[in-house]
Amino acid sequence: MTIFNENGVSVSETAVSIPGQPIRIADIRAVRTASDKNRVVLPISISVVGLILLVIGFIRSSGPFWVPGLMLVVVGWLAWWTQDAKHRLYVDTISKGEIDALVSADLAFLERVAAAIDTARAAK
**In this predicted model, what pLDDT tens digit does every residue of 41-73 receive, in sequence order?**
889 999 999 999 999 988 988 888 888 999 999
Residue 75: predicted pLDDT = 94
Three-class DSSP category at 86: coil
pLDDT band at 76; cut points 50, 70, 90:
very high
Residue 5's nearest CA partner among 24, 18, 23 is: 18
Percent of the chain residues topping a pLDDT of 70 = 99
Three-class DSSP category at 5: strand
Residue 19: predicted pLDDT = 86
**pLDDT beyond 80 at 87:** yes
> What is the model's pTM?
0.68
Q: Which residues contact 118 (CB under 8 A, 6 or more apart)?
A: 31
Residue 106's nearest CA partner among 116, 114, 98 is: 114
Mean pLDDT on 21-30: 90
Q: How many Cα neighbours within 13 Å face the side chain of 31?
A: 23
Alpha carbon separation from 34 to 45, 91, 100, 106 (Å, rounded): 27, 11, 10, 12
pLDDT band at 35; cut points 50, 70, 90:
confident
